[in-house]
């Protein structure tokens, strides 16, 4: 029984070190926090997550992979960010960043 518990502990520990976590804050050009921003996460060409977030978002990503983060909100220009988790330390620390969405001037004038 002890061996099984030990193996499970080692497996869970290795999973926690094979990921990198990050937090993004969603703001407009005035640095006001945005609500209901659709965040799409892609691994390669495959969409692996779609979720609406308000004010901030967070993900745990596997190491040694490429991701694309897409932010979509009506009335704002969409934004895509490429993320590489290659060549990082195996014990990567979490990080945070601010994602500014710019208002779509055409959308303000009634053109989408």
Confidence at 44, pLDDT banded by 50, 70, 90: confident
Confidence at 6, pLDDT banded by 50, 70, 90: very low
pLDDT digits (tens, 9 = 90+) for 72-111: 999 999 999 888 887 655 555 555 556 678 888 875 555 5
Per-residue model confidence (pLDDT) at position 20: 82
Q: CB within 8 A of 51, min separation 6: which ones?
A: 38, 39, 57
> To which residue do tokens 């869970």 refer?
12
| Full-model pTM | 0.69
Q: Where in the sequence is the domain holding 90, given as residue range(s)?
A: 2-108
Q: What is the CATH number of the domain that holds 83?
A: 2.60.40.10
Domain total of the chain: 1
Give the neighbor-by-neighbor strand order of the sheet with 46-53: 46-53, 37-43, 66-72, 79-84
């Amino acid at each position: 029984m002890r061996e099984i518990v030990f193996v499970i502990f080692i497996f869970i520990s290795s999973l926690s070190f094979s990921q990198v976590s990050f937090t993004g804050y969603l703001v407009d050009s005035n640095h006001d926090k945005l609500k209901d921003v659709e965040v799409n996460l892609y691994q390669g060409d495959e969409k692996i997550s779609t979720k609406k977030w308000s004010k901030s978002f967070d993900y745990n990503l596997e190491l040694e992979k490429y991701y694309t983060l897409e932010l979509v909100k009506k009335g704002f220009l969409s934004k895509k960010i490429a993320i590489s988790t290659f060549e990082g330390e195996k014990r990567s620390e979490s990080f945070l960043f601010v994602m500014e969405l710019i208002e779509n001037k055409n959308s303000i004038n009634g053109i989408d």
